[in-house]
Amino acid sequence: MKNVKKWFQNINLIGLVLLLGLFIFGITNYVFSSSSTNFTLHNVVFEPNEIWRRLEFDKLALDVTIYPNDGVDFLQSLSIMNLANAYYKKGLEKLILWTDERDIGFQGVGVDQRVGEAKWDSSSSTWYWDDMGLIVPESGLRLFISAETEKNMDDNRTVQLVIPQLTDNNDNGVFDIGDKGAFFYSGDNGPTDAEVANNDILSIRYGDDDNLGPKSVITNLFNGHTITLRDSFTVSGFSRDQGRLYTQWVQISIVSQGSADNWQDVTTDRLDFGRWTYNWNISGAGSYDLKLKSRDLEENESITDIISITVADNGGGIVSSSQSEVSLDKEESLANGKIYANVVVKTKDSEGNPLANKNVELSYLREDGYVAKNTQTTDETGVLVWGVISEVAGEAILTAIVDGVEMSQHPTLLFVNE
């Protein structure tokens, strides 16, 4: 899911004029270019004995910030290669592209903005993302690429991801399958002078041993978040086991800041805890510490870091489920990964007043069992518009939780094959 409106935030006047000029005059051949200095590498440091094993996910492999040459630009396409010997179905199952959200640095699933899964081109040995339209502001666009390891591994592999030096095979300034590098709306494609590679190399080992607990995340509350005092708040989240097993249970602790943990079971409608909720009965205003603990079927446990939340008497209006609204602009959309259906969330209090800056978590269960989730914030009019996309046909029932209040409407979107 993409927040389409977010593409156009922070565009300054000069950048907008530049992009309009490119559009009107049809300029496609690049005049400028992006050198390696337009790409700031944040080296992913792997510990000396760190290894990945099969069916692990959310493993950060490349971290880079991209800067435009002038004003603002759009990242249209990006290709990635591996300088080591792992590739698609040989150690690596998926590469996922993310943009940085909320706390600085990689958080991954449930926190950072998921752009999508890479496609693999065997003829050029590249993974690529195309038709993205990601805004690159003057302050830079920070991107993360995480890996998911293969299920049926038969050998040890190594990973060292790289944005390769620009190769535009037909010199038209536009990405075609087989091209390499980063392609921008302005045509300032690159890097032209050198590849941008992670310095460290990581090992992927095959075998049946599994010693990692699940990754569990709260997806509608974030560190430093302030909410308005009310009787209850629906906390929602995600869990998935690192490795070949499933999550056995998830517990949450919500206590006054500095107090001892108090673990409580969460509620789920999924056997694997792919999504879960917890009804937090708030005792009063103040600062609270939130943590998660989870266990897989081989008794491997994991405990998250603390998330600090403030409950304030004057934290803004409380969302009314009866006054708020969740709707779709159409009931059917193509499952081609390109056509969007817009979900509109209008957030209001009990008096019908719009509520700005409220976190909205939208989720739906796909036919293939994948739970799609994302959290964004309402604008100054209390409205949030999402573009929902899928490559999997089938029915999707949407659930929106706004500032801890589950909306009563659950619109249904049908994805159909072309």
pLDDT computed for residue 308 by the predictor:
96
* Residue 25 per-residue DSSP state: H
Calpha distance 98→217 (Å, rounded): 16
**Does residue 336 sit in the same domain as residue 305?**
no
Residue 396: which domain range?
325-416
**Does residue 60 sit in the same domain as residue 120?**
yes
Of 133, 138, 139, nearest to 14 (Cα)? 138
Calpha distance 369→33 (Å, rounded): 43
Calpha distance 121→333 (Å, rounded): 27
pLDDT computed for residue 24 by the predictor:
37
Calpha distance 354→319 (Å, rounded): 9
Q: Evaluate whether residue 252 is within a structural domain.
A: yes
> Do the beta carbons of residue 220 and residue 235 sit within 8 Å?
yes
Q: Evaluate whether residue 161 is within a structural domain.
A: yes
Q: Evaluate whether residue 319 is within a structural domain.
A: no
**CA distances, 71 to each of 181, 244, 254, 339 (Å):** 21, 46, 44, 29
> Do the beta carbons of residue 142 and residue 35 sit within 8 Å?
no
Amino acid sitting at position 177: I
| Cα Rg of the chain (Å, integer) | 22
Instruction: Dump strand ranges (E) for 325-410.
Output: 325-328, 332-334, 341-346, 359-365, 371-377, 383-388, 394-402, 405-406
With 0.95 as the threshold, say if the pTM is over it: no
How many other C-beta atoms are found inside a 10 Å radius of the C-beta of residue 180?
24
**The total number of structural domains that make up the chain:** 3
**Does residue 353 sit in the same domain as residue 376?**
yes
**Does residue 133 sit in the same domain as residue 164?**
yes
Q: Evaluate whether residue 317 is within a structural domain.
A: no
pLDDT computed for residue 96 by the predictor:
96
3-state secondary structure of 205: strand
| Ordered per-residue pLDDT tens for the chain, 418 residues | 444 333 333 434 334 444 444 333 333 333 345 666 799 999 999 988 888 988 899 999 999 999 998 889 999 999 999 999 999 999 999 999 999 987 889 999 888 888 999 999 999 999 999 999 999 999 999 999 999 999 888 889 999 999 999 999 999 999 999 999 999 999 999 999 999 999 999 999 887 678 899 999 999 998 998 899 999 999 999 999 998 889 999 999 999 999 999 999 999 988 889 889 999 999 999 999 999 999 999 999 999 999 999 999 875 689 999 999 999 999 999 988 777 889 999 999 998 999 998 989 988 877 666 777 788 889 999 999 988 888 889 998 899 999 999 999 999 999 999 8
Calpha distance 86→309 (Å, rounded): 41
Q: Evaluate whether residue 369 is within a structural domain.
A: yes
pLDDT computed for residue 36 by the predictor:
67
* Residue 392 per-residue DSSP state: S
> Do the beta carbons of residue 55 and residue 246 sit within 8 Å?
no
**Does residue 161 sit in the same domain as residue 30?**
yes
**Does residue 281 sit in the same domain as residue 401?**
no
**Does residue 30 sit in the same domain as residue 148?**
yes
Q: Which of 290, 312, 334 is the last residue of a domain?
A: 312
**Does residue 60 sit in the same domain as residue 136?**
yes
Q: Evaluate whether residue 320 is within a structural domain.
A: no
pLDDT computed for residue 386 by the predictor:
83
Of 414, 418, 231, 248, nearest to 311 (Cα)? 231
Q: Which of 173, 205, 237 is the last residue of a domain?
A: 205
**Does residue 184 sit in the same domain as residue 300?**
no
Tokens at 29, concatenated: 């051949």
Q: Which residues lie across from 395 on neighbouring strands?
A: 414
What count of Cα atoms within 13 Å lies in the side-chain half-sphere of residue 383?
A: 8
CATH code for the domain in which residue 346 is found: 2.60.40.10
Q: Evaluate whether residue 177 is within a structural domain.
A: yes
pLDDT computed for residue 325 by the predictor:
94
Q: Evaluate whether residue 174 is within a structural domain.
A: yes
**Does residue 291 sit in the same domain as residue 201?**
no
**Does residue 198 sit in the same domain as residue 299?**
no
Q: Which of 205, 225, 242 is the last residue of a domain?
A: 205
**Does residue 280 sit in the same domain as residue 192?**
no
